[in-house]
Amino acid sequence: MTPRIPLSRPALGPLERRYVEDALASGWISGTGPYLERFEAAIAERVRRSHVVAVSSGTTALELTLAALGIGPGNEVIVPALTFVAPAAAVLTVGAVPVLCDVSPVDWTIDPVRAGDLVTSRTRAMIAVNTLGHPCDHRALARLGIPVIEDAAQSHGAAVGASPAGSFGRVSVFSFHANKAVTSGEGGCVATDDGDLAARIRLLANHAMSPDRPYVHHLVGRNGRMTNLTAALGLAQAQRWDELVDARRRIGDRYVDQARELGLGSRPTRRGVTPSCWLHTVVTAPETRNRMIRLGRDAGIDVRAIWPALPSLDLYSGRTPRPCPVAVGASASAAWLPTSADLTDVEIETVVERVLRPVAGASA
């Protein structure tokens, strides 16, 4: 039998079922309800922020945050060249200009020195993506003196010392898409200690309808709300946060050991940081990486190339004042291995034997 091992499948259990059925039975299925309040409180406690606004997706969280910060046409926002596209697309969506910055070879997150070189009089913010679950050097980024939006979408459970991912910068965003470590299906949130900013985001997510005057609108808002049904699923997952995060981390640790034994690499990490393992990322020579993907395909194992560096996409190629060799190199040499929280020992063995061992020793 051909194994069918997906890159990531959600780990859903009886708690999720109970909460979702309860939300359904209550009739609260749209953008208000008790599960939304509980979900927001659970995330706020987890990431030690005083305000959390649950929204319909991580992308919506980014767009609303940029809009609430007053960022639009004529403004520039610095974005890493190695990321899922959403942060760069969100900048374009609000009419501003994404300025792509190379990542650091040390940890593949946005390079603080290079980012400093890109600051101009038009720079209004930076979106600091905790790439592949690795927290940025937020202390260095804070010194640049521009507002930092932390994109923690891939870094549930990561930390620097005692400070969790989601607690850095002026404001942080999460995604709870089904392939993230903690999921609500589709969904996202904004977390901040700035009460005014949180209120502005909540307003914009709710048609900019004046809280005290129904159907009176002074701004152009949108419908970016999360549903109570979605929040029920999200709350169950938030209550299993440690279990879900730890399971992925253990799988990542096993892959790291196996890869090392077989002469393959893993994504770089900076000392003193506790990354999360969103998807385990193996690193090798580009030809070997591509061979691993083919081996996976033949064996029914979803091994995937990571994102192309954004400068190699037509839409973003003109947006790099400086070349981004680290992002381009990382993109060509890295692949994800299946990393579901409930991945079994047999599945891990299968990935190792069918995908890693055949390319053993291909690169140091």
Ligand X SMILES: *Cc1c(COP(=O)(O)O)cnc(C)c1O
The residues that touch ligand X, with contacts defined as CB under 6 A, are 57-59, 83-84, 86-87, 129, 151, 153-154, 175, 177, 188
Smallest gap from residue 98 Cβ to ligand X (A): 13
Compute CA distances 314 → 66, 73, 74, 258, whole Å: 23, 21, 21, 37
Nearest residue (CB) to ligand X, 123 versus 154: 154
Nearest residue (CB) to ligand X, 154 versus 228: 154
Nearest residue (CB) to ligand X, 154 versus 266: 154
For residues 320 and 240, what is the distance between their CA atoms, to the nearest angstrom? 40
Matching residue, tokens 């299946």: 338
Nearest residue (CB) to ligand X, 147 versus 188: 188
For residues 275 and 270, what is the distance between their CA atoms, to the nearest angstrom? 9
Torsional class of 167: left (φ above 0), alpha (ψ -120 to 50), beta (otherwise): alpha
For residues 310 and 152, what is the distance between their CA atoms, to the nearest angstrom? 19
For residues 233 and 42, what is the distance between their CA atoms, to the nearest angstrom? 13
Starting at the edge strand found earlier in the chain, the sheet holding 280-283 runs 265-266, 280-283, 334-337, 304-305
Smallest gap from residue 90 Cβ to ligand X (A): 8
Smallest gap from residue 58 Cβ to ligand X (A): 2
Torsional class of 24: left (φ above 0), alpha (ψ -120 to 50), beta (otherwise): alpha
Smallest gap from residue 182 Cβ to ligand X (A): 12
Residue with CB nearest ligand X? 58
Nearest residue (CB) to ligand X, 235 versus 264: 235
Residue 281 near residue 109 (C-beta atoms within 8 A): no
For residues 268 and 256, what is the distance between their CA atoms, to the nearest angstrom? 11
Q: How far is CA 74 from the centre of its chain?
A: 27
Smallest gap from residue 175 Cβ to ligand X (A): 3
Nearest residue (CB) to ligand X, 188 versus 338: 188
Nearest residue (CB) to ligand X, 175 versus 206: 175
Question: Buried (b) or exposed (e) across 288-316, using 16+ Cβ within 10 A?
Answer: bbebbbebbeebebbbbbbbebbbeeeeb
